[in-house]
Amino acid sequence: MNRNPDDWSHKPFGSIGIVLQWAAIPVLACMLAESGWAQAPAQNPAQNPAQNPAPDGDAVAAPPAAGFQIRSFSSYTAYYSSGPIANGGLPTVGTNLSSDLGFGASAEIDWSRFTDRSTFSLTYMPSYTGFARYSSVDALNHALTISVTRHLVPRWNFSFSVAANLSTFEQYLFAPTTQSNLASLPASFQDLASGLLQGQFSNNPQLGVLLNSASVIQSPLNTLLYGQRMFTASLRTSLSYSYSPRLSVTFDVGGNRTEPLSDSQTLTAGNGSLGLNTTSGHAGAAVSYSLSPLTQISGSVSASRTSSQLYDLYTTTTLVSLSHTFAHRWILQLHGGGGVSVPIREIGFLTPVKPYPSGGGGLTYKTNAHTFIASYDRTVNDTYGLGAATSLSANGTWRWRIPGRSWWIDSTIGWQQLAGNALTNTSGWRSTTGLNKAVNTHLAFRAEYAYLKYSGGLQNSLYNLSESSVRFSVQWFPPANALR
């Protein structure tokens, strides 16, 4: 209902030979590692934090390398329990395709500059994903992130970032999250606490780049609503003023755009297609005050607008937050408040205009070998333009690596549920677990498992889809970015 119209495939399995060719890449890399790369000179332990660690929980971050560089290159083979889903569709029960084998390669290219007053970072990650059976959806993927920070005058700081991602469902299965990237970044507990609670990154500019960067939508429901291949982009800019070492004020604005991209061939028939094109924008202000070096409180107010073919509305949210560090290992963050949504345009249902509670929290645990990060959030409305009354999400990541050891483990899980109005507990969750082995400072192997599941109902349609995948990768790191 419009409240104010004036407001704004299948190919034969014969291409298995291609998979075998790609599968030979890890074998060739092993041979090269033993013959050439394995003879590379060892790093000076004094320059290697992993071999010369600081006290437990205070692993020292390596100084960031500046200039243009290729950080890593990797190739992989994978097994998928079912084929690609139809683009922009809701997979109903019984529409899963046959299992398939996949292959691919990716690179990480970086250009950065760090000074006392400013930072600049550009990261570009091209990748290719192919299939043996459903080769019509082979795709070249792209991910780009640009982040800039500037210390304007003694009390003013400015940041700007933009991110864009064009990827497939299979690439998303194994994509790292912001939490997993944070857990893998070399940082001491003090650096992590200063960055998360106070926004101070003088000792670790790489941490500042990660936390200040615009983030694209990272949800288990992405593929459900946008299909096999999707494009998402976001922009964020902020300006902060430090009235005193304890008191600061921050203003920020940003936006996001997400849309499905057409596949070259339709793989299944009968799947209902949403084909959502979602655009959102927000603006907000926050005040933060340090009660002590270990405790901070803050208050924030934000306004946003989300628009799609189905829904268009404004949302205003007010939150009060409390953060505390204890035992030099733990960081606890709590926030609570409420919000209200005012629809401008809606199709098929009426949304009540009333306040809903909003809140959540986060817990971080950091030692020299373990990093654990978990969060839970309840927000008003949703970021897709579906018209949900509330959105619940929970995320967690864990990474274990003993300094100086060549083995490490990481695991990530994420869950989201949309409820209210035309949605019947629409939910999805994704988990990944990886086992890693460093052969030397330039070569590593990774075996990982991913699982993704959707369930629930949307617009009187029930659906249920699950996907399992196993992937084996070989990663090469140039000398300038050798493993630590």
378-423 pLDDT per residue, tens: 998 778 887 788 889 999 999 999 988 999 999 999 999 887 766 6
The pLDDT score that the predictor gives to residue 316 is 94
The pLDDT score that the predictor gives to residue 18 is 36
- Supply the pTM of this predicted model: 0.79
The pLDDT score that the predictor gives to residue 481 is 61
The pLDDT score that the predictor gives to residue 41 is 34
What are the pLDDT tens digits along the chain (484 aa)?
A: 444 433 433 333 333 333 334 334 333 333 333 333 333 333 333 333 333 333 344 444 454 567 888 989 999 999 998 766 544 444 444 455 678 899 999 999 999 888 888 889 999 999 999 998 888 888 899 999 999 999 888 899 999 999 999 988 888 889 888 889 888 888 888 888 888 887 777 777 778 778 877 777 778 877 777 877 889 999 999 999 999 989 999 999 999 999 888 644 343 433 434 667 899 999 999 999 999 989 999 999 999 999 988 888 899 999 999 999 988 899 999 999 999 988 888 776 667 788 889 999 999 999 989 999 999 999 987 788 877 888 899 999 999 999 889 999 999 999 998 877 666 678 889 999 999 999 998 999 999 999 998 776 665 566 677 889 999 999 999 876 655 5
Domains of the chain: 13-481 (2.40.160)
The pLDDT score that the predictor gives to residue 187 is 83
CA gap 345, 459 in Å, rounded: 17
- Maximum alpha-carbon separation in the chain: 71
